Amino acid sequence: MSLAKKNIVIAVCGSIAAYKIAHLTRLLVKEKANVQIIMTKEAAEFITPLTLSTLSNNPVLIDYFDPKTGEWNNHVHIGLQADLILVAPATANTIGKLANGICDSLLTAVYLSAKCPVFIAPAMDLDMWKHPSTQNNIRLLQSYGNRIIHPGNGELASGLIGEGRLAEPEEILDFITQSFSPQLPLKGRNALVTAGPTYEAIDPVRFIGNHSSGKMGYALAKQLVALGAKVTLISGPTALEAPQNLDRIQVTSAHEMLEAVVQHFSQSDIIVMSAAVADYTPIEVASQKIKKKEDQFSIALKKTTDILASIGTKKTEKQLLIGFALETNNEVEHAKDKLMRKNLDFIVLNSMQDKGAGFATDTNKVTVIDRFQHIQEFTLKSKEEVAKDICQLIVQHPILTQK
């Protein structure tokens, strides 16, 4: 999708990551977008307005009134004329103001006047990003319809390693370009994806878990984003970096995953349940590390809530529900049984008997069975390619095409 003649407002906040906006501005201008930059006074301490004005071919706006030109910068006009507003880098301070309607600058006034989509690209230190107040403000902004360009993982200005890096300019450009594309088949759809294992605590040190890496679920989430869906990824513990342009919710236990799924299920058009959720969890969790004393040791377990079966009973005719089955024997029969019992639209079957399939691999070999018992087998492929195959079935499904 061309960005030619699109009016894009970049609202720059006071962060060391402001230097990346110079490169982003060049990329947008190269795409023939009309770029208007607004800065906070603090942002001007990190990169000069002259630099961004030169690159954007437009005056940079900071205050309501410019005493040098005698011109009034009309925030309402700017907000109404914009096709898209990008707040980047978005600091914890500005995120808090936007979330709570605090209007103390031209930047925040333009945001409150906007009628167009608003994308927010946070940038801050790890602990600031993880703080409950920041995460609550992010959720508030999302509830208003704003989209978050998730921060990257890596070395931060403080020297810490973790989430908080402003997304790279090329990633932000892709996000903006996709938002304007009318050709994306899942544009306007909400997708919910679960991925990875769950860990069920035995004591503060030990847990019951499985070998799921989360690679399949993450590949599916990434592909759904590429097809235009607004994706919420609920992830158990993994070493994987979150794909860009989606909302990742990190959980540990089956109960935490259940709560997150229930919270987001009703707003989702597409639900892909690829997580390997524990079937059992300890009845009691020791508060201290259990010492090795006895030759034999038993742990009493109880069943976890079957998340897939639970939401299957609540699924509407307008929702597409996909489950996964990893089997070791009588694979097709077990998968068909699960498909019907849990009210799925189709199920993706892996067999542990297939070399290169299953947990902790970069490849997978799947068989897809729909509710009409139609079976479609796929060859061994990379999990990225498998995700494309599955998402193609999602795009073509009657529930979505007839809606």
CA distance 129 to 221: 22
For residues 172 and 313, give the distance between their C-alpha atoms in angstroms, rounded to a whole number. Answer: 39
Burial class of residue 274 in the structure, from the number of CB atoms within 10 Å of its CB (0-12 exposed, 13-18 middle, 19+ buried): buried
Cα–Cα distance measured from residue 126 to residue 342, given in angstroms and rounded to the nearest whole number: 40
324 is in an annotated binding site: yes
Check the annotation: does 279 bind a ligand.
yes
Q: Is residue 210 annotated as a catalytic residue, yes or no?
A: yes
The gap from C-alpha 270 to its chain's centroid, in whole angstroms, comes to 14
- Please tell me which residue in 153, 190, 210, 343 is annotated as part of the active site: 210
Is 338 marked within a binding site? yes
Structure tokens at 139: 């959720």
Query: Tokens 């980047």 sit at which residue?
Result: 88
89: cis peptide before it, omega within 30°?
A: yes
Q: Which long-range contacts (CB under 8 A, 24 or more apart) does 285-294 make?
A: 285/201, 285/202, 285/203, 286/202, 286/203, 286/204, 287/203, 287/204, 288/203, 288/204, 289/203, 289/204, 289/205, 289/206, 290/202, 290/203, 290/206
Contact of 277 with 328, CB cutoff 8 Å: no
Tell me how far apart the alpha carbons of residues 55 and 290 are, in angstroms, rounded to a whole number. Answer: 62
Q: Identify the three-state secondary structure at position 130.
A: helix
342 is in an annotated binding site: yes
Pairing of strands 207-208, 230-235: unpaired
Which amino acid, one-letter code, is at 388?
A: K
Share of the chain residues as helix, strand and coil, in percent rounded to the nearest 5: 35, 25, 40
Q: What is the three-state SS of 149-169?
A: CCCEEEECCCCCEEEEECCCH
Which 3 state secondary structure label does DSSP give 24? helix
Helices (H) and strands (E) in the chain, counts: 14, 23
Binding-site positions for CTP: 279, 289, 324, 338, 342
Which segments are annotated as binding site?
A: 279, 289, 324, 338, 342
Instruction: State the catalytic residues.
Output: 210
